[in-house]
Structure 1
Amino acid sequence: MKQPTSHKISARGITLRYVDWGGDGPAMLLLHGDMRTSRSWDAVARRLVDEYRIIALDMRGHGGSDWTPRGYRFAERVDDLAAFCDALDLRGVFGVAHSTGGVVMSLCAQKRPGMFSQLVLMEPMVVVDERFHKMVAGREHAERSTWQSREDLHGYLSKHRAASSWHPEVLDDVVAHEAYRRDDGLIDMKWSSYTFNWLDRDGDNVDLKPVFAELGLPILFIRSSGHSTRIKELNEVQDGIPDFHRLIIENTGHNMYMERPDAIAHSIREFAAGHDLPQSI
């Protein structure tokens, strides 16, 4: 099964790791959300690599990028992403992002016009408010789940309420590449609890509605059938932006690209080609 090459760059005083799938087509940048890494995109990347040069980044505090104690406010994550794109001379790149990564990529596109040509955003929070930050900040001090072996992790995920719906290929990728063996011998996941620190969360609120209106880019907003995105807010966005498109991926939860990578790859192709998309797929 095809695998990417791994690389590291220095940017803004930290090390950022990314994977490059090669390919001779236009550049496509994949950006994960909280508690995931670049390797959560592997199944999608394999389905698109013949058409695009695919690059996937580990955001600060995730995967092989530096796990710094601070630096997780949206403005800092945006600057990380912009510095990464500058280092790789990425301009007019096709951006694909999930959840928190979608917020970061949208804000980066606003700050750096011309960096992205079009965006596919999978359930970013349209409004990030204090209620959301308080909900997730508890993870900073929560006891981390660990396993004795990768086999134990695979067994746990295969029965997990959300992860059991992942495509089998994705499950294998996560176990192989999103987990690591700690110094104490236990298997843990490759994300830092620092990413949820309250000092960086407090007051870091965002409203993407005016951002989408300002971008002037084709945007495909994908949501899952099983996750409650604020539909009223999306209606407000779509009514005011002519090139804002919406799609529901049926029979999925929040991590829809990990559950139905074939449907996601197909949707990206259709959107890139300018074809009309159905309401759901």
Structure 2
Amino acid sequence: MAWNNGYIHIDQEKLFKEIMTHWTSAYIHSNNIRIHYTRTGGNKPPVILLHGLMTSGLCWTLLARALENEYDVIMPDSRGHGLSDVPETGYQYADLANDVVGLIRSLKLKAPVLIGHSMGGMTAAVVASLNPTLLSRVILADPSFISPALQLEVYQSDVASQHKKILSWSLKEVMADASKRHPTRPAALIEIFSHARLQTSMQAFEVLRPPNPDFRELIQSITVPGLLLYGDRGVVSADIAKELEGLNPGLLTAAVPNAGHSLHMDQPEHFARLVKDFLSC
């Protein structure tokens, strides 16, 4: 069963003039580390947004602003990212999932929705698989569902060494490079992502060490309603999405046209509408 609908308009430039004027920034302690999070607040149903590698909770700002009138949006920084602690070890998906469970319990969140992109999508799938009673729904945005061969290829690539090089750059240099690669994104959004890149530790790249959890087994074991979103130039292909839909009758899938791996950034209005429609049905 495919899931598709219309759009929600987001005035990005106006959004960033008012960004975070009433959001809170705080920490919880979980698994012997401090985890930082940003929260929109209010007595509303909770939604947790899990970011990908080399980003941070605030990189979900566009979606958070689209949801905050109806939901209490919580945006944690994964360990080794943003303002969270950087332990020497503990960067496998089981560790990241345990951190999310600790966040839910520390904040006493009642049946939150979990939304994750890339690394955060795989983490969300692990949480939903192992702790179904904690969640109400889960949304996976182009999660890192890749074959063992590709896992090894990514791990042996120069992605970590390139990041190490970038860590020696200034914020201005990182922003200039990002602007060249994403010329249509607002400057304020470029700045958020550039800060997040410079806040990403080298330890965080241990999440790339194979093996990843078996994503087919994860999807089969998820019992809460789920939505898988994928782009036409991303990690999850249409064929894989169709296969996963067949493995779990409670999983909806939807393609986001003209989008790559960062589908929530490439098509923010369409992405936000799909999320809101799924949460309201």
Q: Tell me if the contact between 1:118 and 1:218 (Cα under 8 Å) persists in the aligned partners.
A: yes
Letter in 2 for 1:253: G
CA RMSD of aligned residues (A): 2.2
Match for 2:275 among 268, 273, 277? 268
Shift of 1:129: 2.2
Give me the whole-angstrom Cα distance separating, in 2, the residues matched to 1:127 and 1:31.
18
Please state if 1:155 is matched with 2:164.
Answer: no
Matches within 5 A, 1:139-218: 139-142=159-162, 143-146=164-167, 149-160=170-181, 163-164=182-183, 166=185, 170-175=189-194, 177-178=195-196, 189-197=198-206, 201-218=208-225
Letter in 1 for 2:179: S
TM-score in terms of structure 1 length? 0.84
Other-structure match for 2:10: none
Please state if 1:2 is matched with 2:19.
Answer: yes
Shift of 1:243: 2.3
Give me the whole-angstrom Cα distance separating, in 2, the residues matched to 1:93 and 1:43.
19
Shift of 1:55: 0.3
Structure 2, unaligned stretches of length 5 or more? 1-17
Equivalenced residue count is 260
Change (3 A) 1:130 1:14: farther
Please state if 1:227 is matched with 2:234.
Answer: yes
Change (3 A) 1:141 1:260: same
Q: Tell me if the contact between 2:110 and 2:134 (Cα under 8 Å) persists in the aligned partners.
A: yes
Letter in 1 for 2:200: W
| Higher normalized contact order (CA 8 Å, seq sep 6+, divided by chain length) | 2
Letter in 2 for 1:157: A
Match for 1:86 among 105, 114, 122? 105
Q: Tell me if the contact between 2:144 and 2:235 (Cα under 8 Å) persists in the aligned partners.
A: no
Stretches of 4+ aligned residues off by more than 4 angstroms? 146-149, 200-203
Structure 1, unaligned stretches of length 5 or more? 180-188, 275-281
Q: Percent identity?
A: 23
TM-score in terms of structure 2 length? 0.84
1:46-101 deviations in Å (ceiling 9; x for gaps): 11100100001101110011122211111111111111211111231011110111
Q: Tell me if the contact between 2:141 and 2:228 (Cα under 8 Å) persists in the aligned partners.
A: yes
Q: Tell me if the contact between 1:140 and 1:195 (Cα under 8 Å) persists in the aligned partners.
A: no
1:95-140 deviations in Å (ceiling 9; x for gaps): 1110111111111112112111111110112345253144135434
Give me the whole-angstrom Cα distance separating, in 1, the residues matched to 2:89 and 2:121.
20
Other-structure match for 2:4: none
